[in-house]
Amino acid sequence: MGRLRRSTGYDTKKNIVETLESTVSITRSRLCQIKSTSTAHLHMTIMLRDTLIPEPPMFRPKFPPQDLTSFVL
């Protein structure tokens, strides 16, 4: 059987630094995705808010007047 190698202080620091760098990289990537999506949603909201309907609807339904005394309570 092989002997287990004891971790030195340098190896531990190296592992911590690599883990931290990986975490920072993943966090940056995710924040870029969030920023991109947020920007797209903001631009879509602004576009929809500023969009004018060019004319009123062509058909607006009209209902005959109802007799209010015919309702049963």
Q: How many domains does the chain have?
A: 1
* pLDDT bracket for residue 7 (50, 70, 90): low
Q: Could you tell me if residue 63 is inside a domain?
A: no
pLDDT at 16 over 80: yes
Q: Could you tell me if residue 5 is inside a domain?
A: no
The per-residue pLDDT for 9 is 74
The mean predicted confidence, pLDDT, of the chain is: 83
Range of 29's domain?
A: 10-51
* pLDDT bracket for residue 23 (50, 70, 90): very high
Q: Could you tell me if residue 24 is inside a domain?
A: yes
d(CA 12, CA 9): 5
Q: Could you tell me if residue 4 is inside a domain?
A: no
Q: Could you tell me if residue 34 is inside a domain?
A: yes
To 10 degrees, the CA torsion angle through 42, 45, 51, 53?
A: 170
Q: Could you tell me if residue 28 is inside a domain?
A: yes
Q: Could you tell me if residue 58 is inside a domain?
A: no
